[in-house]
Amino acid sequence: MFKRHKITIIGAGATGATTAHVMALKEMGDIVLVDVAEGIPEGKALDIWEAGPIERFSLKVTGSNDYDATADSDIIVVTAGMPRKPGMSRDDLLKVNAEIVYQVVEKAAKLSPNALLVVLSNPADVMAYVAQKASGFPYHRVIGQAGVLDSARFRAFLADALNVSPKDVTAFVMGGHGDDMVPLVRYSSVGGIPIEKLLPADTIAQIVQRTRTGGGEVLNLMKISAFYAPASSLAEMVEAMLKDERRVIPVISYLNGEYGEHDIFVGVPAIVGGNGIEKVLEVEFTEEERQAFAKSVASVRKPLSMLNY
């Protein structure tokens, strides 16, 4: 007997609820929205589910405060945590979100021991590490979301500068999800043409910097963290796993020797499919790129060293 996939989203705030909505529109599977706030996950799930007859999706969307509702999930998406506020860095959220993520993942993992775990909570690289410790899952089944989002911003800015469709822009960002992230200009192109052939160096430098501070730009305007683009990024990752698409996308992955790094989760290009991280892809660096990546990794290790996991 065939069954729909089951997706649990932990955290019914703006990002979690929007992620549920996007996944419902894509008919990715039955969705369970979980949150500690009484009535919030139930109400938002009901609202999304009631759009089904209009949007033509047949899946179930339910909400709960009880983790028993998440049992036997194929995918667990973690968006829970204290949101970032103006003036706060992602690292300011470190200890409070580490405690939240550890607790919610520990509960959900026990009820869905075969699930793939996708982590969005900030600081995302560190929270992926915490989530793996809390779940005990194999490293390839714990994936952080940041590279898809950061790369989408990079691609959007490049497309805007060139007045072309973002569909034709290929670009990716590596390293930690913070101000030291590494947009790789040399590997970026539009319709197969290197962007360095299409844009002046100063324009590219401005776009790289805007990409690094893209989350802060939205935060300063809305006074809350971004949630539309992050939700779409999560949906793209989950779809790649549920459909075993073997997509090559930048994700937060555990490194065990790749790029000369050990025992850390950080953003790298990887093949993503039905097993989670199928393979980390190692690209060649120039000396400047190598130093930038090393600096970014160091910025992840610093807050990680403050936790006892």
In tens digits, the chain (309 residues) has pLDDT values of 778 999 999 999 999 999 999 999 999 999 999 999 999 999 999 999 999 999 999 999 999 999 999 999 999 999 999 876 777 665 677 888 999 999 999 999 999 999 999 999 989 999 999 999 999 999 999 999 989 999 999 999 999 999 999 999 999 999 998 889 999 999 999 999 999 999 999 999 999 999 999 999 999 999 989 999 999 999 999 999 999 999 999 999 999 999 999 999 999 999 999 999 999 999 999 999 999 999 999 999 998 888 887
Q: For residue 90, what pLDDT is reported?
A: 59
Using a 10 angstrom Cβ sphere, with 0-12 exposed, 13-18 middle and 19 or more buried, the burial of residue 305 is exposed
CA 207 – CA 201 distance, rounded (Å): 10
pLDDT at 92: 73
3-state SS assignment for residue 280:
strand
Q: Do residues 41 and 33 make contact, with C-beta atoms less than 8 angstroms apart?
A: yes
Residue 84 annotated as lining a ligand binding site: yes
For 268, the token pair is 């790298």
Ligand-binding site membership of 25 (annotated): no
pLDDT at 309: 77
CA atoms of 309 and 189, how far apart (whole Å): 40
d(CA 37, CA 18): 17
Predicted pLDDT of residue 91: 66
262 among known catalytic residues: no
Name residue, tokens 């929007």. 18
Q: Name the strand (E) or helix (H) holding 105.
A: helix 94-111
Which three-class secondary structure state does DSSP give residue 255? strand
Q: Which tokens in the block code for residue 32? A: 């369970």
Distance from C-alpha of 218 to C-alpha of 266, rounded to nearest angstrom: 23
Please give the Cα distance from 252 to 7 (Å, whole number).
20
- 35 annotated among ligand-binding-site residues: yes
Distance, in Å, from the CA atom of 236 to the CA atom of 120, rounded to the nearest integer, reads: 13
What one-letter code names the amino acid at 193? Answer: I
* Dihedral pair phi/psi, residue 46, rounded to 5°: -60, -40
Is 122 labeled as ligand-binding?
yes
Question: What is the residue whose two structure tokens read 């459909």?
Answer: 243
Catalytic residue among 21, 140, 177, 262: 177
Please state the length of the chain.
Answer: 309
pLDDT at 87: 74
247 in a known ligand binding site: no
Cα 103 to Cα 131: distance, rounded to the nearest angstrom? 9
The answer to whether 226 and 153 have CB atoms below 8 angstroms apart is: no
Distance, in Å, from the CA atom of 56 to the CA atom of 44, rounded to the nearest integer, reads: 18
CA gyration radius for the chain?
A: 19
